Amino acid sequence: MSLDPKTILSPKGKVENIEIIEQNTDYTIAILSWEGKDTIAARWNPTEENTMGIPQSRGYATWFNFPILS
């Protein structure tokens, strides 16, 4: 895996404070701050065929955020 999940801060200004809670060769799960609120997020890690992983937007690696129910 050549892309460090802690460096995925896209969209700019929305993602901060990434804390990895689970990581393996297939996926990464993290707690991060999205627009100032803590959330759980996940992404599929890069492969040889897909060097950015999933999700991605406009050529930038991004996170899938799970909704926080209150």
> Rg of the Cα trace of the chain?
12
Residue 28 is assigned to a structural domain of this protein: yes
3-state secondary structure the chain: CCCCHHHCCCCCCCEEEEEEEEECCCEEEEEEEECCEEEEEEEECCCCCCCCCECEECCEECCEECCCCC
Residue 70 is assigned to a structural domain of this protein: no
Containing structural domain, residue 26: 5-65
Q: What is the tens place of the pLDDT at every residue in 5-55? A: 999 999 889 999 999 999 999 999 999 999 999 999 999 999 999 999 999
Count of structural domains, the chain: 1
Residue 47 is assigned to a structural domain of this protein: yes
Residue 48 is assigned to a structural domain of this protein: yes
Mean predicted confidence (pLDDT) in 49-66:
94
Residue 29 is assigned to a structural domain of this protein: yes
